[in-house]
Amino acid sequence: MLRKIVSEWREKIIENIVEADDDLMEKYLEGEDLSTKEIEETLMQGIKSGMIVPTVCGSSTSNLGIAQLMDLIVQGLPSPLEKAPREGTKPGGEEVVERPPTVDAPFSALVFKTIADPFAGRLTLLRVFSGTIKSDLTLYNANKQTKEKFGQLLLIEGKKQRPVEMAGPGDIIAIAKLKETSTGDTLCAPDDPIIYKPSEPLPSVISYAVEAKVKGSEDKVFTSLAKLLEEDPTLRLERDQATSETLLSGTGQIHLETTCEKLQRKFGVEVNLNPVTVPYRETIKKSVKKIIYRHKKQTGGRGQFAEVHFDVSPLEKGSGFEFDEALTGMNVPRNFVPAVEKGLNEALTSGPLAGYPIVDLKVRFFDGKSHDVDSSEMAFKIAARMCLKKAMQDASPTLLEPIMKMEITIPEDAMGDVMGDLNGRRGRVLGMDSQGRYQVIKANVPMAEVLQYALDLNSITGGRGTFRMEHSHYEEVPAQLAEKVIAAAKDQE
C-alpha cells in the first residue's frame, strides 16, 4: 500500500522537476527513463532559478531531517557569487547602479535587523552584497548621509558572538553600538555610495491599548518599547489623541503577546494589553434657536452674573466646530467673547449622551446680558458651557461611530464566507478586484466590529487572508446599538 503511495508522489515530484529543463521534459514526455543524476541536477537548477521551492520535513528537537536540510542548503541554494548584480540607486536621485557580488567591488551592505540588548547595547545585523569589510573602519550610511565608525565585526552563533577579522559577499555579520544606523539602511564605501531598497515590513493589522502593570513604571515601559521598535519594524506605537490611549500595533495576536513577553524578559517591565476604546463622537440632528442661559450666583461679597443667547445648528460631517460671534449693541462687552468661546470648547469635550466629544455643530452667539460689577470671564465661561448643554438636549443629540475603509485579500474559495461575515459586521461592500489567484474586497465597516478582525479572518481563511485598514469617516450609530454604547459608557463612570 505504502509503495503505491510513494510511487504516485514520486511521479508527481518528477513532473514538477522536469518543467525546469525543456530537454529533460521532452525526454520525460517521450517515455524515456531519467537517471537519478539528471533528476537531482535539474532539481538543483530549478531551486537556484526560483522555479522550484523545496519543502523539507523534520524536527529539530528529535534531530530528524536536519542533515537533509543542510545538504539541500549547500547543494541547492545559490551561492552569493552566482547571484546577479544587486541593483540600487544613487543617494538623492533615481539613477540605478549595480554592485556585482565580488570581493573587489566597492563595499555595500543592507541592514536587515536591529537587536536591542539591555547589556551589550544595540546590535546591527547586515548582509554584505559586495566588497569586503574589516574591523576598525568607518562606513557611510547612505540613507542618513552620515559616517559610522565601528570597532569589531561579530559573527552571531545562537546566543554567542564571535569576533571576525573580515567579511565578504553573502556574509551576515553584526556590528555593535552604531549611533545613527537603523533597520533598512544601506552601509557602503564613503567614496562610492549606493542605497538598496529594503524589504517592506508586514502591515500592522491588530492593535491593543498598552498600559504599565505597575504604576510609576510608565517611562521605563515606553523607553523599553522604543528599543523593541528599533528591533522590529512591524511594530507600531502611537498615542490616540481621541481616547488618550497608547496603542501597540502588530501583525497578529501572537506577535503582540511575544513582544510583551520580550519586554519582561529583556527589560524587566510588565504591561497589560487592553481592547482598544472605540472613539465615538456625539453631534446634533436639528437646529435650535434662541437658547438662553443665565448664570447668577450671589454668596455675599462680589457675585457672578452672565447671560448668553445662542443659536445652535448642525454642520456637514467632518466639519468640526464653528463659533460665530454675531453680537450687536453693547449688552455684552467684547472682552468677554474669548471666555464664551473657551467655555464652549471645554463643553465640546463631553457630550450629554455618553460623555464623548461633540463634533459638527455651529454656535451663533448673538446676544446676552452683563453686569458692571458681577460679570467676569469665569461667569461667561460657565454660562456658555451650560447654555450649550441645554441646547444639546433640545437638538436631537445622536451618537457617531468611526467607519474603517478596508481592503481584504483572500483566496477565491473563501469569498462567500468572508462576504457573509462582513454583512454580519454591518459592513458595506464597495467593490471587488482580482489580484492573481486572489480576490480583493473593498468595504466600509464600523470600527467597533473589526477590533479583532485579524483573528477572525485567519480563522475563516485558514491563515491565507490579509487586510489593510484605515479610518474613513464617521456615521450615525443605529438606535438599538447606540443605547447599548450609552449604557456601557454610563456603567464605566
pLDDT digits (tens, 9 = 90+) for 113-171: 988 776 667 889 999 999 999 988 899 999 999 999 988 899 988 878 899 999 999 99
Q: Which residues pair with 310 in a beta bridge?
A: 291, 365
Mean pLDDT throughout 173-201?
A: 90
Q: Give domain status of residue 199, yes or no.
A: no
DSSP 8-state assignment for residue 203: P
Q: Choose between 84 and 117: higher pLDDT.
A: 84
- Examine the domain organization and report whether 294 and 333 are in the same domain: yes
Nearest residue to 114 via CA among 128, 124, 99: 124
- Residue finishing a domain among 41, 76, 111: 76
- Examine the domain organization and report whether 92 and 66 are in the same domain: no
Identify the CATH number of the domain in which residue 421 sits: 3.30.70.240
Mean pLDDT throughout 183-204?
A: 89
pLDDT digits (tens, 9 = 90+) for 325-368: 998 888 999 999 999 999 999 999 999 998 899 999 999 999 99
- Examine the domain organization and report whether 99 and 165 are in the same domain: yes
Predicted confidence at residue 493, as pLDDT, reads 60
Contact 269, 221 (CB under 8 A): yes
With pLDDT > 70 as the criterion, what percentage of the chain qualifies?
98
- Examine the domain organization and report whether 391 and 324 are in the same domain: yes
Q: Give domain status of residue 154, yes or no.
A: yes
pLDDT digits (tens, 9 = 90+) for 35-78: 888 888 899 888 888 888 888 889 988 999 999 999 888 888 88
Provide, for the chain, the percentages of residues in helix, strand and coil under a 3-state DSSP scheme, each rounded to the nearest 5. 30, 35, 35
- Examine the domain organization and report whether 452 and 473 are in the same domain: yes
- Examine the domain organization and report whether 129 and 225 are in the same domain: no
- Check whether 300 has a pLDDT greater than 70: no
- Examine the domain organization and report whether 441 and 388 are in the same domain: no
Phi-psi map region of 100: left, alpha, beta (phi>0 left; psi -120 to 50 alpha):
beta
Q: Which residues pair with 161 in a beta bridge?
A: 156
Predicted confidence at residue 126, as pLDDT, reads 94
Q: Give domain status of residue 193, yes or no.
A: no
pLDDT digits (tens, 9 = 90+) for 383-411: 999 999 999 999 999 999 999 999 999 99
Q: Give domain status of residue 295, yes or no.
A: yes
- Residue finishing a domain among 224, 250, 274: 274
**Grid cell for residue 482:** 447606540
Would you place residue 436 in the very low, low, confident or very high pLDDT band (cuts 50, 70, 90)? confident
As for how many domains the chain has, the answer is 5
With pLDDT > 90 as the criterion, what percentage of the chain qualifies?
48
Dist CA 398 CA 314 (whole Å): 11
- Examine the domain organization and report whether 36 and 126 are in the same domain: no
pLDDT digits (tens, 9 = 90+) for 412-431: 999 999 999 999 999 999 99
Neighbours of 257 (CB within 10 A): 13
Identify the CATH number of the domain in which residue 309 sits: 3.30.230.10
Q: Give domain status of residue 427, yes or no.
A: yes
3-state SS class at 314:
strand
Q: Burial code of 102-112, b = ≥16 C-beta within 10 A, e = fewer?
A: eeebbbbbbbb
- Examine the domain organization and report whether 388 and 431 are in the same domain: no
Predicted confidence at residue 92, as pLDDT, reads 82
Question: Considering the chain, what is the average pLDDT of its residues?
Answer: 89
Predicted confidence at residue 444, as pLDDT, reads 95
Nearest residue to 391 via CA among 296, 289, 319, 316: 289
Q: Give domain status of residue 195, yes or no.
A: no
Q: Which domain holds residue 378?
A: 283-395
Would you place residue 301 in the very low, low, confident or very high pLDDT band (cuts 50, 70, 90)? low
| Residues near 273 by beta carbon (within 8 Å), at least 6 away in sequence | 208, 209, 210, 248, 256, 257, 260
Q: Burial code of 355-389, b = ≥16 C-beta within 10 A, e = fewer?
A: ebbbbbbbbbbbbbebeeebbbeebbbbbbbbbbb
**Grid cell for residue 213:** 502593570
Predicted confidence at residue 80, as pLDDT, reads 82
pLDDT digits (tens, 9 = 90+) for 151-160: 889 998 887 8
Predicted confidence at residue 124, as pLDDT, reads 92
- Examine the domain organization and report whether 361 and 266 are in the same domain: no
Q: Give domain status of residue 197, yes or no.
A: no
The H or E element that residue 300 is part of is none
pLDDT digits (tens, 9 = 90+) for 461-491: 998 898 988 889 999 999 889 999 988 887 7
Dist CA 32 CA 429 (whole Å): 54
Predicted confidence at residue 120, as pLDDT, reads 66
**Grid cell for residue 82:** 552566482
Contact 290, 309 (CB under 8 A): yes
- Examine the domain organization and report whether 51 and 139 are in the same domain: no
- Examine the domain organization and report whether 218 and 257 are in the same domain: yes
Dist CA 353 CA 283 (whole Å): 10
- Residue finishing a domain among 158, 188, 218: 188
Dist CA 173 CA 166 (whole Å): 10
Q: Give domain status of residue 333, yes or no.
A: yes
- Check whether 492 has a pLDDT greater than 80: no
Would you place residue 16 in the very low, low, confident or very high pLDDT band (cuts 50, 70, 90)? confident
